[in-house]
Amino acid sequence: MSEMRVVGIRVEPPQSQPVLLLREVDGQRYLPIWIGQSEAASIALRQKGIEPPRPLTHDLIVNLINDFGQTLLEVRIVDMQEGTFYAEMVFAGDLRVSARPSDSIAVAMRADVPIIADEEVLAEAGLLIPDEESDEETPAPSDDEVEKFKEFLDNVSPDDFKASGA
């Protein structure tokens, strides 16, 4: 298991498919996840610290969790099958709710809980981006890190993450 942090989102032409990039907090692997437009917008707004005048869907989910007296402990990316990632929201009492990673991450960012990737997922889909020289302790991505992410995205497609023969 590795704790992850959100590096950023980039929309890739020509399909305009957003890609969410996570990076290990105490490691060098990255995890790219293709996500939907609305989830990308929600994550980007939160990452930029923009508070909408009315709660968005992910804000509503956090409000419901709190108002129902539940405690979200962490979000886990638990599996990847044929290029599709699977996540769980882990609550107190070991209650687990299956969810899409994009929704789970948007909620985790609002609830200020860790985002965890299981080792099997990182072993299968995690990437090392060459010439990494960023400071491990810096929570925000450096311009160099973002530029390397852009270069990586120019040369990758969702098909690169489909399981071969599995």
CATH code assigned at 110? 3.10.690.10
> How far apart are the C-alpha atoms of 118 and 113, rounded to whole Å?
16
* Structural domain contains residue 48: yes
Q: Which domain holds residue 12?
A: 2-161
* Structural domain contains residue 19: yes
* Structural domain contains residue 89: yes
CA distances for 158 relative to 87, 116, 148, angstroms = 18, 22, 18
Q: Are 78 and 122 in contact (CB under 8 A)?
A: no
The residue written with tokens 């994009």 in the block is: 102
Structure token pair of residue 158: 């969702």
Does an H or E element contain 85, and which?
strand 84-91
* Structural domain contains residue 101: yes
Check residue 141 and give its pLDDT. Answer: 59
* Structural domain contains residue 81: yes
How large is the average pLDDT for residues 115-128?
Answer: 92
> How far apart are the C-alpha atoms of 56 and 73, rounded to whole Å?
21
* Structural domain contains residue 166: no
Characterise 6 by phi-psi region: left (phi > 0), alpha (psi -120 to 50), beta (else).
beta
Structure token pair of residue 129: 């981006």
- The predicted-structure confidence for 58-101, as pLDDT tens digits, reads as follows 999 999 999 999 999 999 999 999 889 999 999 999 999 999 99
Could you tell me the pLDDT band of residue 51, with boundaries at 50, 70 and 90?
A: confident
User: pTM for this structure?
Assistant: 0.77
Does an H or E element contain 74, and which?
strand 72-81
* Structural domain contains residue 155: yes
- Work out how many domains the chain is built from and give that number: 1
CB-based burial label for 86 (10 Å; 0-12, 13-18, 19+): middle
